[in-house]
Structure 1
Amino acid sequence: MARVESRLAQVEARGVALPTPEESPAARARAMLASRVSQAAETVPQPAPEQHVPLPQPEPVSAPLREPQPVEPRFSLEALIGGRLPIWIGGAALVLAGFFLVRYSIESGLLGPGTRTLLAALFGLLLIAGSEAARRLAATRDDPRVAQALAGAGIASLYGTLYMAAALYHLVSPLPAFVLVVTVTAGAMALALRHGPPTAAMALVGGFVAPLLAGFDAAGIGPLLLYLALFIAALFGLAIRRGWGWLALAAAISGFGWINFLIAALGDRPGDWSAVGAFTMLLAACASVALPATGTRNPWLRLAPLVAGFVQLVALAPSLEFGALAWSFYLVLAAAALFLSWREPLYLPAALAALGFLLVLELLALLHPERSITPLAAVAATLLFALPGHWLASRSPRWAELALGGTAGPLLVAHAAAPSLLAAPAWGVLELLAAAACAHLAWHRRSAGNDSALILASLATALLGVLGLAQFLPHAWLSLPLALAILGLAGWARFVQARALFKLPVLPFAAALVSAGLPLLALTELVAASVMGDRLPYLRLPHTGLLLRDLALPTAALVASLLDPRMLGNARRLVGSLAIAVAVLLLYALTKQPLALATLDRFAAAGFLERALLTQACLAAGWLLLRARRFPSLGGVLLTLGLARFVWFDLLLLSPVFVPQQVGGIPLLNAAVLHAAAVAAWLWTLAPTRPIRTGAALATLVALLAAVRQAAHGSLMTGAVSTPENGGYSAVLLGAALFWLWRGIATGARDLRIAGLALLTAVTFKVFLVDAAALDGVLRILSFLALGIALIGIGWAYNRFLGTHAEAAAPSLDAAASTPG
């Protein structure tokens, strides 16, 4: 009303007349437009004759006024506390008053059972009569909540009275009691239809609380559960009739609350667990049907009763000793979930949840000492989920996933938890049959692209195939079916051309690494010891047959699959590097076998030769891949590994200059010189980048120094440096400097010229500071004379080269300077 009055005041202030009922909408719009235009004209100043001022645009015409509608009263805390809660609490208080009155009469012995029951029934009927009177009295008929509270309290009282009469005092036999419960339920539904949701809520609270106040276990669990089942069924019927989803949900939650209360209260009374299980199964199934019938659209609310039922049955199964009754309850509820999923796809997540909880139940049952019925239940579960899943797999990926889970899940859990149930060949046959069923499903979904069901079907086929084949092989040969799985998944991915399938070979390779953990760990320890300077790593090698059997086959299969650049997807670099590293370790272990360096004498005789051959193999493989421009990343890794081995082992850690090792007695044609010269040759013939040419130059210097050292000491290069050896170093370094300087001038390679000049400078300082200090007399004079003449000649030749180069470049510079721009 305040908003309507404010709107009227605004209209009157603008001077717009209210439309009369007989005016047409067009007339009212024209009148309002004329009024607003006149108001705008009065407020705009008149322009001079020569000015052109645009007229103001009229405001949009507002919609015609409507008749004021009655405004709903706003929600307020005062109205809730002062007007609503007292009535509802009062109704609940009436129910409690009746129950406590009866309980007091029982404890005091004032009244007999029949009188107590009769008084309780009269109390409930009086409350219902009071509700009808409240609907008719002038003082209360304007507030329907009074009648609603009284009717709800009366219904709750009648439910409690019937429970006491039939279950506590046995005043009524089962058949009449059932008829009376149906009658009260019908009356409750009629009153709820007449009075609305509050009456239904009061009846719900009273009906569920009544057994607690009267003593829930006085007559046993069976009558109590029968009472709860009839009462919940009545609530579901009322909720469906009126479309009250909240009532169906509240009834289901209260029912599950009673189940958990009974689980906590029963303790060591196993005879009642079967009744609780049956009640759980019925409640979950009926609630799943009732909620959609009330119009509830929330998918999670509609799935909740089924999921809650599965959880409750799994929790009850140990109390039922995982017997036939426990399995029957679960399988019947799972069948209900599948039936609902067939009728409406919304329930498919509940069916998948049922499968997941079933696998948990199967695992717990197989770990139980008494499991006679569990294998049969696992077979029934497989058929229950797999057959409809395969039949309806074309409907959606969810059905295909259900088929895969039903086909593989119970079988894998049984094999893992109780392998002694069957012989190994029997397990193998079953797993290969299951793999064929999964492969059939994958074949039918091959055109689905990156479909989740296609991926799961491919994985399930590989897993079941590996396990099935492994049952017919010795336990140690698991690597063979894993290698076949890698090749099979790689070929399947290339056939289907689905991007997600190219990542699947990672999984069997990871399984192969896990299964070969011990030999792989031994290889890792071997490499670590070798890097730290162990001279006899051969003694740490695992058995060659063990390495080949556990690691070689899967690694070779994965490396072969890497020939397809799409293989492994985003994981290609990481997993491919890991596979190549394992392959290199295996080759390293194999190359240690021929020489078998198991003693220090054997190491001194052939240690350098073996190490040089391994390093040269890495360098040659990397060089070939880089020159062929195939797998350049792998080629770079191998080349880097070879250079690292050359620097770390041959120049620093195990250099034959410090550690006694035979390199050969022939000058120039010995292992030390040939090894360093080959390193330089690999690098000189690669792409002429600055790092590569720098490494090549350094390796060339190492080869020259090794030639001098070997010529001075023979096959064993250890020992002190003599004066002739020192002079030989200066001579070969000077020759290398002059050669690089000449090649740099001849080919125009600036880096060679700089390298030659730098080496020449270093040799000059060495001669002056080291070599000359060891000479006396004529030898010192002759050395300085020869060095001076050589340096003068080199300087004169290099200056002529620089002058010629500058004259050749000058015309081109002049031409460039004369060109415009």
Structure 2
Amino acid sequence: MTTDLLLLLLGAVAVALLTRRIAALERTVAALRSELRIAALDHEPSAADAEPLAAVAEPEPLADALPLVLAEPAPTLAERLEALVAGKLPIWTGGAALVVAGLFLVRYGIESGLIGPAVRVAFAALFSAALLAGSEATRRLAATRDDPRLAQVLSGAAIASAYGTLYVAAAQYHLIAPTAAFAATAAITGGALFLSLRHGAPTAVMALVGGFAAPLVAGVDAAGVTPLLGYLALLIAALFALAAARGWTWLAMAAVVAGFGWANLLVLLLGGSESTGVAAFVTALAIGATLALPRTGPLRTWLRALPLVAGLAQLLVLAPTLDFTPLAWAYHLTLAAAAVVLARRDAVLEGAALAAAVLVTVLLALAFSAATGPSPASQVAVVLATALIAGAGLRWSGLGPRWAAVALVGLAGPVLVAHLSRPSLLPTTTWSIVDLVLAAAAAWLSWRHRAAQGRDVGLVGGAAIAALLGGVALAAPVPLAAAPAMLVPALAILVWWGRQRDHPRLQALPAFVALAMLLLAGGPLLNLLGAAAAAIGGETLIYPYLPAQRRLLLSLALPLVAVAAALRFAPDSFGRWRPAVTLAGGVVAAATLYALAKQPLALATPSRFLALGFSERAAITFLFAGAGVLLARHAATKRLGHALVLVAFARALWFDLVLFTPLVVPQAVGSLPLLNAAVLLPALLALVARTLPGRGWRWTMLLSILLAVAAAVRQLTHGSLLTGPLSVAENWGYSAAFLLLAVVWLWRGLTDPGSGLRTAGLLLLTAVTLKVFLLDVAALGGVLRILSFLGLGLALIGIGWFYRRMVAVPPSR
């Protein structure tokens, strides 16, 4: 039932194609007639053709002249429908019915079993001969010679029936020897060519549909795939020859589509059992179609390259079933070589050569990723593919950017696939030598295109592939921890080459090397991220989370030095990615400095944290703040410097005042008064804030000084450990120290009115006064309370008198 529906569908498709073709021809004829009539109206006789007036003949009657110059009225919709239904459809539908009848005649003979195979084939052959005789009779009979469609339909049906008859006789019943079958096929093909030349496009369409539908009658696997593929190959070759002779591009394209359709149908129906034959057929079809299509007429560029690309894609689909045997690789590389050679002959096909290079690389990736490992044939294919693709691309890279792209794919694709997926195939040193040789070839390609401007694939791509292969060659023999450092030479060479050529795209390439360094250092960076998360969450002992010092130096420190040198000494390096590289480098540098600063003290035990935890945090905060001040002095790194200063203050606020404050968490700050970590940390941060512009940083400086004074009082009363209750002496010490600080700020504010210190001093003085009256004195009694009020009163009076002398303040009324 499925075959019946398929045959009917093919007949309907044939009718639709013929109807569209005839309608297009009729429109063309109508347009030509209109142009001829208009030309007749516009024609005026020249003076040389004029005759004496007496000799001029009388003009023809108007009624006789009108048919020559007046256009016929356009047919109405009803007239067109009538012409289609009554005049065209019956003929072409009848032709399709004859084809289907011939096919069903053979099928009926097969299913009924009433007659033997030889008789069945004889009947089918007689039916084909009868149709052919009928086509010739209709061309000669007076009643039908004026309508060529009748002869076209009958001849097309005869061709289709003859193809089907021969296939059944040779493939299913073996009534004809292979040699005789080939000769008969050639004869029918020659007859089809002759009849198509004789009767035109409709006969060719019938031959096309009948020829490709014929194998469905007996079943696809009735006689094996090899005879079927040979039959299809001969049929397609005949159609190509006919298309070239008549200039029928549509016929050649239809044959290509039908050929690839049969290949996919065979793969779908038969699985991988006959993949080798299908691969050979696909290879021959792709090459033959690419050679034949240009001879059939003008084509769009992408259509000319389509058969090669389709063939390569089809082989890619077949690859898993071919098991990458030597024969399979012979097909793949043959088609790739054909794409390269044909592209050299015809520039239109250069895209097909590039597609071949990419698809061969994909095939190698599939072969080397197999669980069983690459076969010996696949290993040899790496060498052959590199020599073929890279050699052709390098040889002809000067002809256009696509050839340079072919060279780059050939240099990097096959070898990198083999190296990265199966590094054990060769010794590490051998792999490095191979990679360096290919890197030198890519560098030569970039040098060859050194005079190019704009988006030149050879110049920029050659440098990129050279850096890639060189980096792999240097990084592969070393441990992963040292791999980022091995990319430093590639970075340096790309920076130098970009400055030499002054090419924006070349100058941007080092950014991708920096990105590769960052990715290779992913392990240490993840460790640092985990350490930071643990510290922010309150973990006191984060040293075990940090990577080893050697790995920090090789994975992060050395690459950062190289990137920093490029940023400093090569102003154009990294191109438009320079801001991103600067930002990422600053973040990674901060994380690296943090990890390196944690190495000397190695706080891995609670006792070590108690003794050195606060001092270590203070030193790291000083490091961030100092680096930020130095970077903020340069315009290029000003934002990064400010960011590091913000990180320093954020660290001090979160870790030292909130999370691990020494007032709650026991930590030694130092035994020396004033010269201890608790005092020096806010004091130095105040100096850092003083160097930065802005009112916010000024108030940050004042708050830092206030914290330093408070820390000094606390350390004087408690010693190195700041935990413990608040004593009376400490409480009055805060009041005395803050009062003295307020006086100093007032004095400095009077000498420097724009500093804001006078306002800060007045605010602090007010706060100290309220503290003393509300808190300090309330806790005293007797003589101490009297003496406290007396001393505070005298101090405030003295401050007021001094302030009035220094500043002209009008007395209040």
| Common topology (TM > 0.5) | yes
Corresponding residue for residue 533 of structure 2 = 528
Aligned to 1:753: 758
SS in 2 for 1:104: helix
Note if 1:308 corresponds to 2:310: yes
Partner of 1:376: 380
Residue by residue over 1:753-782, the C-alpha shift from the partner in whole angstroms, topping out at 9 and shown as x without a partner, is 322222222222222221221233454445
Question: Aligned residue for 1:553?
Answer: 558
Deviation of 1:803 (Å): 5.8
- Deviation string for 1:165-203 (max 9, x for gaps)? 433444444444433333322332232233332221111
CA distance in 2 between counterparts of 1:771 and 1:736 reads 18
State yes or no: 1:335 paired with 2:337: yes
SS of 1:403's equivalent in the other structure is helix
SS at match of 1:668: coil
Matching residue's letter, 1:413:
V
Distance 1:507 1:125 in 2: 72
- How many correspondences in the alignment? 745
3-state SS, counterpart of residue 397 of structure 2: coil
Deviations 1:781-818 (A, max 9, x none): 45445545655666677678776899xxxxxxxxxxxx
Shift of 1:20: 10
Contact 1:401 1:453 in 2 (8 A): yes
The 1:789–1:485 alpha-carbon spacing in structure 2 relative to 1, beyond 3 Å, is same
Which of 388, 391, 395 is equivalent to 1:387?
A: 391
Deviation at 1:455, TM superposition (A): 2.8
Give the Cα separation in 2 of the matches to 1:761 and 1:452.
73
Summarize the Cα distance change of 1:109–1:728 in structure 2 as closer, same or farther, 3 Å threshold. Answer: closer
- Whole-Å Cα distance in 2 between the matches of residues 603 and 232 of structure 1? 84
- Paired residue secondary structure (1:717): coil
| 1:422 paired residue among 404, 426, 432 | 426
Give the alignment partner of residue 359 of structure 1, picking from 353, 358, 361: 361
Inter-CA distance 741–391: structure 2 relative to 1 (3 Å threshold): same
Q: Aligned letter for 2:383?
A: V
Stretch of structure 1 that moved more, 161-170 or 695-704: 161-170
What CA deviation, in whole Å up to 9, does each residue of 1:488-541 have, x standing for no partner?
Answer: 323322222222233333433333344343333222222222222322222333
1:208-248 CA distance string (max 9 Å, x none):
11121134444433332222111111111111222222111
Q: Note if contact 2:401-2:456 (Cα within 8 Å) is conserved in structure 1.
A: yes
Greater mean deviation of Cα atoms: 128-137 or 388-397: 128-137
1:272-283 superposed matches below 5 A: 272-283=274-285
1:229 to 218, 227, 233: 233
Give the distance between the partners of 1:533 and 1:111, measured in 2 at CA. Answer: 95
Preserved contact between residue 425 and residue 471 of structure 1 (Cα < 8 Å): no
Residues 228, 21 of structure 1: alpha-carbon distance in 2 compared, 3 angstrom cutoff: closer
Confirm or deny: 8 A CA contact 1:398 1:453 kept in the other structure.
no
The question of whether the paired residues in 2 share the 8 Å contact of 1:91 and 1:149 is answered with yes
Query: Closer, same or farther in 2 for the Cα pair 1:96/1:459, shift >3 Å?
Result: same
d(CA) in 2 for partners of 1:591, 1:236: 77
Output aligned runs, 1:112-151, within 5 Å.
112-135=116-139, 140-141=144-145, 143-151=147-155
Say if 1:791 and 1:83 are closer, same or farther in 2 by CA, change over 3 A: farther
Decide which of 587, 597, 603 is 1:597's aligned counterpart. Answer: 603
Shift of 1:86: 3.7
Relative to structure 1, the CA distance from residue 660 to residue 178 in structure 2 (aligned partners, 3 Å threshold; closer, same or farther) is: closer
Q: Is the aligned partner of 1:298 residue 2:303? A: no
* Whole-angstrom CA distance in 2 between matches of 1:341 and 1:22: 50
Question: CA separation in 2, counterparts of 1:135 and 1:476?
Answer: 86
Amino acid at match of 2:484: S
Deviations 1:355-413 (A, max 9, x none): 22212222333335571222222211111111111010011111011011112211111
Q: Deviations over 1:99-144 (max 9, x none)?
A: 2123323433444444433332332233233334444556555554
Residue in structure 2 matched with residue 738 of structure 1 by the alignment = 743
Matches within 5 A, 1:180-329: 180-267=184-271, 270=273, 272-329=274-331
- How far, CA to CA, are the matches of 1:318 and 1:184 in structure 2? 37
Q: CA RMSD in A?
A: 3.0
Aligned partners of 1:486 and 1:554 also within 8 Å: no
Structure 1 distance, partners of 2:705, 2:510, is 44
159, 163, 172: which one pairs with 1:159?
163
Q: For the residues of structure 1 that align with 2:250 and 2:805, how far apart are their CA atoms?
A: 103
Contact 2:480 2:520 in 1 (8 A): no
1:429 counterpart letter in structure 2: I
Alignment counterpart, residue 469 of structure 2, candidates 464, 471, 493: 464
Residues 769-784 of structure 1 aligned to structure 2 (within 5 Å): 769-784=774-789
Q: AA paired with 2:314?
A: Q
Aligned counterpart, 2:9: none
> Does the 8 Å contact 1:627/1:686 carry over to 2?
no
Deviation at 1:698, TM superposition (A): 0.6
Which whole-Å deviations, capped at 9, do the CAs of 1:686-725 have from their partners, x for residues lacking one?
33x1011011111111111112222222222222222232
TM-score, structure 1 as length reference: 0.84
Residue 634 (1) aligns with residue 675 (2): no
Q: Deviations along 1:722-753, whole A, 9 cap, x unmatched?
A: 22322222222223223323333332216333
Cα distance in structure 2, aligned partners of 1:107 and 1:600: 93
2:782 & 2:348 partners in 1: Cα distance? 106
CA contact (8 A) 1:673 1:707 kept: yes
Aligned pair partner of 1:484 in 489, 502, 511: 489
Partner Cα separation in structure 1 for residue 353 and residue 104 of structure 2: 45
**Residue 412 in structure 1 maps to residue 386 in structure 2:** no
- State, as a whole percentage, how many aligned pairs show the same letter: 52
Partner of 1:61: none
1:561-585 C-alpha deviation (Å, 9 max, x unpaired): 2224433344434443333333222
Contact kept, 8 Å, 1:618 with 1:642, in 2: the verdict is yes
SS in 1 for 2:599: helix
Structure 2's unaligned 5+ residue stretches are 1-39, 47-67
Name the aligned partner's letter for residue 681 of structure 1: L
AA at the equivalent of 1:150: L
| Matched position secondary structure for 1:447 | coil
1:151 shift after superposition: 2.0
- 1: CA distance, partners of 2:318 / 2:673: 87
2:463–2:494 CA contact under 8 A, matched in 1: yes
Aligned pair in 2 of structure 1 residues 550, 74: CA closer, same or farther (>3 Å)?
farther
Q: Measured at CA, do residues 703 and 180 of structure 1 come closer, stay the same or move farther in structure 2, by a change above 3 Å? A: same
Residue type at the aligned position of 1:657:
L
CA distance in structure 2 between the partners assigned to 1:231 and 1:595 by the alignment: 84
- Report the residue type matching 2:324 in the other structure: F
User: Do the aligned residues in 2 keep the contact of 1:404 with 1:460 (CA within 8 Å)?
Assistant: yes
Give the drift of 1:611.
1.7
Aligned counterparts, 1:797-812, within 5 A: none
Q: Which runs of 5+ in 1 are unaligned?
A: 1-18, 26-65, 807-821
Contact 1:743 1:749 in 2 (8 A): no
| Residue 545 of structure 2 corresponds to residue 540 of structure 1 | yes
Q: 1:608 aligns with which of 594, 597, 614?
A: 614
CA, structure 1 residues 711+383, in 2 after alignment: closer, same or farther (shift >3 Å)?
Answer: same
Shift of 1:254: 0.8
